[in-house]
Amino acid sequence: MTTRELGRPSIDYVGLLARFAAPLFLLFLVVLFAVLEPRFLHPLNLMNILRQVSIMGLVAVGMTFVILTAGIDLSVGSVVALAGLVGAYVAKGGLDDRFAVGAAAAAGNPVILAVLAAVAVGAACGAMQGAAITRLRVPPFVVTLGGLTAFRGLALIFSGGGPISGFSPAFVWWGQGRIYGVPVPVIVFALVAAVAHIVLRYTRFGLWIYATGGNSAASELNGVPIRRATFSAYVIVGLLSGLAGFILSARLNSAEAVAGLQLELDVIAAVVIGGTSLFGGIGSIFGTVVGVVLIGVLRNGLVLMNVSSFVQQILIGLILVLAVAVDQRAALRRS
C-alpha cells in the first residue's frame, strides 16, 4: 500500500454533520413551525423575525471576530447602552429637552453626527479593552467583565437615571423605517454581515484573525501582527455595538441606561450555535448569521405557539449545549 492511499482522508461524516448542523436545524425549525402554525410563514412575520434579531446580529458579527481570536467580549450589552445614550445626547444637542417630541425633537444635531458619536464611543470602549488585553495581558474574560460593569455604570451616570426619548423622524427612521418594505435595521445587518464575511474570508486581515486564534505563538513567529489583529477585533465588536446601540435607540425612540442588559449572552449563544469555536480559529460569519436567525425563529415560533418565554430560555440553553457537543464530537474525531 502506498502512502498516497494511506494519506487519503476518509469522509468525515461527524465533521460534515457538525458543519451543517446549524443550517439543518434552522431548516427543521422553519418547517416545523410552518406546519404547526401557518401564520409563521407570513412574509410580515418573517420580516418581523429578521427585524427583531438584526440588532443582536450586528453585535454577533463583531463578536465572531473576537471569538475567532480565542477571545470573548462580555461588555457588549453595556457598550450598546452607553453608545445609544451618547448618540441620543448628540442628536438632541444636550439634555435640556430630553423628552421633547414633535417640532422640538427635530432640533439638535444632524443624525449622521449621532451615528458617528455612537460608533466612536463603541470603538473607544473596544480600543480600551483591546489595549488592556494585548498590552497589559489581562485575560479577555476579566477585562470585558470589568467593561461590562464599568460601561454600565458610566451609562447610568451619563443618563442621570432617566431615558432620553422623542427623536426626530430622520433619527427614528434608522430603527423603524423601511426600504421597499425591508426594515432598515435588517438592511444594515445584512450589509455589515456581507462586509464582515468578505473581510474574514478574502483579506489578509481576516487570515490574521484566524491565524491568531488558531495558534498565536506560531503566528507571531511567522510575523503575523497578533497584537494588532487582536486589538482590532475588540475595536470592531465595540464599533458594531455602538452602531447597534444607536439603532436600538432609534427603534425604541428612546435611549436608556438599562438597554442591552444580558445581550452578551444571546450574542455569544448565537455565535457558538453558528459553529464558531470558543477556542478560536474556527468559525464563519455565515454560521453566525444562521445562529442569529435560528434564535430569532425559535423565539418567534414559540411565541406564536403560546409557549412561555421561560420555556424559550430553557430551549435556547439546551440548543447551545447541544451545538457545542456536536462540535466537540467532530473535533475529537478529527484529532
Partner 1 sequence: MAPVLELEGITKRFGAIEAIRGIDFAVEPGEVVGLMGDNGAGKSTLCRIIAGTFAPTTGTLRLNGHEVHFRRPSDAREEGVEMVHQDLALCDNLTAALNVFLGREITFGFGPFRFLDRGKMQARAGELFAELKSETRPGELVKRMSGGQRQAVAIARTRLSEPKVVLLDEPTAAISVRQVAEVLELIRRLRDAGIAVILISHRAPDVFAVCDRVAVLRRGEKVADKPVGATSPEEVTGLITGAIEYA
Interface residues with partner 1 (CB under 8 A) are 3-4, 7, 9, 202-207, 210-211, 213-215, 217-224, 281-282, 334-335
Q: Give DSSP secondary structure letters for 241-274.
A: HHHHHHHHHHHHTEE-TTTTTTHHHHHHHHHHHT
Cβ distance to partner 1 smaller for residue 72 or 263: 72
Nearest distance in Å: CB 231, partner 1: 15
Q: How far is CA 60 from the centre of its chain?
A: 2
Nearer to partner 1, 155 or 272 (CB): 272
C-beta of residue 81 within 8 angstroms of C-beta of residue 164: no
Q: How far is the CB of 242 from partner 1 (least distance, A)?
A: 22
How many CA atoms within 13 Å lie on the side-chain side of 136? 12
Separation CA 14–CA 11 (nearest Å): 9
Q: Shortest Cβ distance from residue 277 to partner 1 (Å)?
A: 9
Separation between Cα atoms, residue 110 and residue 299, nearest integer Å = 36
Least Å distance, CB 64 to partner 1, is: 14
Instruction: Give me the least distance between CB of 108 and partner 1, in Å please.
Output: 35
Q: What's the CA gap between 146 and 179, in Å, rounded?
A: 39
Nearer CB in complex with partner 1: 144/232: 232
Residue 123: CB minimum distance to partner 1, A:
17
User: Toward partner 1, which CB reaches closer, 146 or 225?
Assistant: 225
Of 313, 277, 270, nearest to 292 (Cα)? 270
Closer of 193 and 282 to partner 1 (Cβ)? 282
User: What separation in angstroms does the CA of 154 have from each of 87, 114, 157, 189, 253?
Assistant: 14, 18, 5, 27, 21
**Which CB sits closer to partner 1, 2 or 262?**
2
Quick one: 130 or 283, whose CB is closer to partner 1? 283
Is the alpha carbon torsion for 170, 176, 181, 187 positive or negative?
positive
Residue 210 Cβ, how far from partner 1 at the closest point, in Å?
6
Residue 214 grid coordinates: 488558531
